[in-house]
């Protein structure tokens, strides 16, 4: 019961912090906006003060957050609240000890802290962004320097197809040292989530360390392969979330046309993080 109460209070604290930046100011927190593009932001937190670092979140995207105070300086207490869009919650995964681990302790305390979370779909272009917060508390009697890195770890593929004579094949390999959960959001050409029979499960799906998950569009019934029936074949883009360290999931995609014909063709499609 004691542990349940701790978790409930911790989650309530994160929810309250997300209600309004004005409330953070009222509580004596310094509020800073950061950008989830992998850049490292340096800051100084006053003595006995909580700093709140905010960034926008999007459905079908995933994020990794890393805190460092420099070499030979232990990290400060950090709480991440996902603040995903919509009404679906998201859990935070501590990836500090996952390969590549950042928690090497040389006797002077843990020097880095890393956490990750994913915002589930479905994805719609008109859905407003959410707002995540990273709260770091400096309990020392003196100001403390800190560095924050927020990375959008979403994997993107610009093309997929499921026509009368073509299918798309995907593989996802977990290169880290612990299980990673992924969610697959298959979008049409207008950026809307597809919810048709036979589509890959939007997740989350857990991939064990070192394992590979393979998915394809071959199970989509023929009547759902064009819009309208007999018209333009289905296609669009794909985005995949992951709750592991940056680069934990290695993804490949290929579109095969005329697989049973005399001249089948294979088109390899790039699948990579947003900022690569």
- The 10s digit of each residue's pLDDT in 104-159 is 666 566 788 999 999 987 888 888 899 999 999 999 999 999 999 999 999 999 99
User: Domain check: are 120 and 11 in the same one?
Assistant: yes
* Per-residue pLDDT at 193: 87
The whole-angstrom separation of Cα 107 and Cα 112 is: 13
At which of 90, 122, 152 does a domain end?
Answer: 152
For residue 260, what are its two tokens?
């049973």
CB 75 within 8 A of CB 144: no
User: Domain check: are 104 and 161 in the same one?
Assistant: no
CB 115 within 8 A of CB 94: yes
Q: Which residue has the higher pLDDT, 90 or 107?
A: 90
User: Domain check: are 55 and 70 in the same one?
Assistant: yes
User: Domain check: are 168 and 130 in the same one?
Assistant: no
The whole-angstrom separation of Cα 122 and Cα 134 is: 25
User: Domain check: are 235 and 267 in the same one?
Assistant: yes
Residue where the block lists tokens 């560095």: 147
DSSP SS3 for 84: coil
User: Domain check: are 113 and 135 in the same one?
Assistant: yes
| Domain of residue 176, residue span | 155-273
CATH code, domain carrying 116: 2.60.120.380
The whole-angstrom separation of Cα 188 and Cα 230 is: 17
Best CA proximity match to 124, nearest among 193, 204, 60, 199? 193
Using CB atoms within 10 Å of the CB of residue 24, give its burial: 0 to 12 exposed, 13 to 18 middle, 19+ buried: buried
CB 118 within 8 A of CB 181: yes
pLDDT tens by residue, 244-268: 999 999 999 999 998 877 888 999 9
Q: How many residues does this entry show for the chain?
A: 276
User: Domain check: are 66 and 196 in the same one?
Assistant: no
Instruction: Name 121's Cβ contacts closer than 8 Å, sequence gap at least 6.
Output: 59, 60, 183, 185, 193, 202
Runs of H (alpha helix) within the chain: 2-19, 21-26
For residue 84, what are its two tokens?
């995903």
Task: Work out whether the CA dihedral 160, 206, 214, 151 comes out positive or negative.
Answer: positive
Q: How many domains does the chain have?
A: 2
State what percent of residues in the chain have pLDDT above 90: 57
User: Domain check: are 105 and 197 in the same one?
Assistant: no
**Cis amide prior to 246 (ω within 30 degrees):** no
CB 81 within 8 A of CB 15: yes
pLDDT tens by residue, 192-231: 888 777 776 667 899 999 999 999 999 888 888 876 666 6
Q: Which 8-state DSSP code applies to residue 261?
A: S
The whole-angstrom separation of Cα 220 and Cα 276 is: 31
CATH code, domain carrying 237: 2.60.290
pLDDT tens by residue, 174-194: 999 999 999 999 998 888 888
At which of 120, 152, 184 does a domain end?
Answer: 152
At which of 98, 119, 152 does a domain end?
Answer: 152
């Amino acid at each position: 019961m004691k542990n349940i109460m701790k978790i409930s209070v911790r989650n309530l604290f994160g929810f309250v912090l997300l209600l309004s930046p004005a409330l953070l100011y009222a509580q004596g927190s310094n509020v800073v906006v950061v950008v989830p593009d992998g850049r490292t932001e340096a800051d100084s937190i006053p003595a006995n003060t909580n700093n709140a670092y905010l960034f926008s979140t999007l459905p079908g995207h995933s994020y990794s957050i890393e805190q460092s105070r420099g070499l030979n300086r232990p990290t400060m207490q950090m709480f991440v609240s996902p603040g995903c869009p919509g009404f679906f919650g998201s859990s935070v995964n501590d990836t500090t000890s996952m390969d590549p681990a950042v928690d090497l302790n040389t006797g002077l305390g843990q020097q880095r802290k890393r956490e990750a979370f994913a915002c589930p779909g479905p994805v719609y272009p008109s859905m407003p962004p959410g707002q995540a917060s990273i709260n770091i508390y400096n309990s020392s009697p003196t100001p403390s320097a800190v560095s924050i890195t927020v990375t959008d770890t979403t994997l993107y593929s610009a093309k997929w197809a499921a026509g009368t004579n073509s299918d798309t094949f995907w593989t996802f390999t977990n290169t880290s040292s612990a299980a990673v959960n992924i969610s697959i959001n298959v979008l049409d050409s207008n950026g809307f989530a597809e919810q048709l029979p036979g589509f890959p499960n939007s997740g989350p799906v857990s991939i064990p360390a070192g394992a590979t998950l393979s998915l394809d569009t071959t199970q989509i019934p023929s009547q759902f392969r064009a819009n309208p029936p007999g018209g333009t074949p289905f296609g669009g883009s794909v985005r995949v979330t992951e709750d592991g360290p940056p680069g934990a999931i290695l993804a490949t995609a290929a579109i095969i046309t005329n697989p049973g014909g005399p001249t089948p063709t294979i088109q390899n499609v790039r699948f990579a993080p947003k900022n690569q």
